[in-house]
């Protein structure tokens, strides 16, 4: 089996290693261009270490990319953590087609921030899908799916690295085995159940302390570690990351700091409280909330502006 792999980061590297261990020939690896000052992409480094042809086009749709891809003569294309738009010509190039990993149970949560939105919405289950990409956004037929539980305190980071990352590598290996064995399904997605959300950015992560505490908690969990939940104090932006959901605290107003603790500071919301444990002030690294709280007072208010 000759495989052309398009991907990046630790997930792409893990997938490539798993394919090589199965004895499949990875004939080419495509990763995004280097980011100045950033650490080397581990998938790129694996390609260099193993002598696998490496390509780093600015965009997969750039002139000449298709011709180079076709020259590799792959049997199957695999997309593992791809943020670029891949042309239909490349998708259709391998005789066996192209398959892709997506961290949701398609057609739910199409888009680039599927893990974020599942948690922000307070959902208890999500999963992963291996599918046959087409010209739409995460709209192609499904090859296989696996469901996982979203724990009540799960963050984007813990859900991805503890569940969707390792299961995704295993699922891609299983998917390639099915393609190789001629048993790979092509199940049309049910468009009546489809949802799409935009990339989760700062404007989607602004805390409204007047919402129920559970919703506030879900928003913070669903934006940890990126992009971080945003609030303001004294006109200064503050990003909140690690936190805990706590019972109601007296008659405090939403957004009011009601207690300073060794672990951080407790903020009132509707029907509960949020114990903030890790924050990031402007132009500063992330820090323990207890360190930041040295400048806070009980009774101070957090707000949206």
* Between 235 and 93, the higher pLDDT residue: 93
Beta strands 142-149 and 229-233, pairing class: unpaired
pLDDT of residue 215: 98
Cα atoms in the Cβ-side hemisphere of radius 13 Å centred on 168 = 30
Q: How far is CA 239 from CA 105, 180, 268, in A?
A: 29, 47, 17
The average confidence (pLDDT) of the chain is 97
**Interatomic CA distance for residues 83 and 255, integer angstroms:** 36
Give pLDDT tens digits for 253-265: 999 999 999 999 9
Lookup: tokens for 50 = 């193993």
295, pLDDT greater than 90: no
What phi-psi label fits residue 274: left (phi over 0), alpha (psi between -120 and 50 degrees) or beta?
A: beta
Give pLDDT tens digits for 16-50: 999 999 999 999 999 999 999 999 999 999 999 99
Give pLDDT tens digits for 176-186: 999 999 999 99
pLDDT band at 125 (very low <50, low <70, confident <90, very high): very high
**Interatomic CA distance for residues 41 and 246, integer angstroms:** 39
Q: Are residues 238 and 274 in contact, defined by beta-carbon separation less than 8 angstroms?
A: no
pLDDT of residue 147: 98
Exposed / middle / buried, residue 130 (Cβ in 10 Å: 0-12, 13-18, 19+): buried
pLDDT of residue 63: 95
pLDDT of residue 249: 79
pLDDT of residue 251: 86
Work out the average pLDDT over 100-117.
98
Domains belonging to the chain, first-starting first, are: 2-193 (3.40.50.170), 202-295 (3.10.25.10)
Q: Which of 301, 129, 109 is nearest to 222 (CA)?
A: 109
Query: Alpha helix locations (H) across 77-207?
Result: 88-92, 114-120, 156-159, 165-181
pLDDT of residue 192: 98
């Amino acid at each position: 089996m000759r495989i052309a792999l398009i991907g990046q980061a630790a997930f792409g590297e893990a997938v490539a290693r798993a394919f090589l261990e199965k004895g499949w020939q990875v004939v080419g690896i495509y990763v995004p261009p280097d980011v100045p000052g950033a650490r080397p992409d581990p998938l790129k480094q694996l390609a260099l270490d193993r002598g696998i042809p490496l390509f780093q086009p600015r965009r997969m749709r750039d002139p000449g990319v298709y011709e180079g891809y076709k020259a590799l003569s792959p049997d199957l294309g695999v997309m593992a953590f791809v943020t670029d738009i891949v042309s239909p010509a490349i998708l259709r190039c391998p005789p066996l087609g192209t398959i892709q990993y997506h961290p949701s149970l398609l057609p739910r949560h199409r888009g680039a921030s599927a893990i974020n939105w599942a948690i922000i919405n307070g959902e208890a289950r999500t999963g992963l899908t291996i599918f046959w990409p087409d010209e739409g956004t995460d709209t192609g037929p499904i090859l296989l799916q696996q469901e996982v539980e979203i724990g009540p305190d799960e963050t984007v980071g813990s859900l991805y690295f503890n569940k969707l990352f390792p299961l995704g590598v295993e699922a891609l290996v299983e998917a390639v085995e099915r393609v190789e064995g001629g048993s790979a399904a092509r199940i049309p997605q049910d468009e009546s159940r489809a949802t799409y959300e935009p990339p989760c950015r700062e404007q989607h992560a602004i805390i409204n302390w007047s919402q129920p505490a559970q919703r506030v908690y879900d928003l913070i969990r669903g934006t940890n570690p990126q992009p971080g939940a945003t609030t303001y104090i004294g006109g200064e932006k503050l990003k909140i990351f690690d936190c805990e959901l706590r019972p109601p605290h007296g008659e405090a107003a939403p957004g009011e700091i009601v207690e300073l603790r060794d672990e951080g500071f407790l903020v009132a919301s509707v029907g509960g409280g949020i114990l903030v444990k890790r924050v990031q002030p402007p132009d500063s690294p992330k820090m323990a909330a207890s360190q930041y709280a040295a400048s806070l007072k009980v009774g101070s208010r957090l707000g949206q502006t």
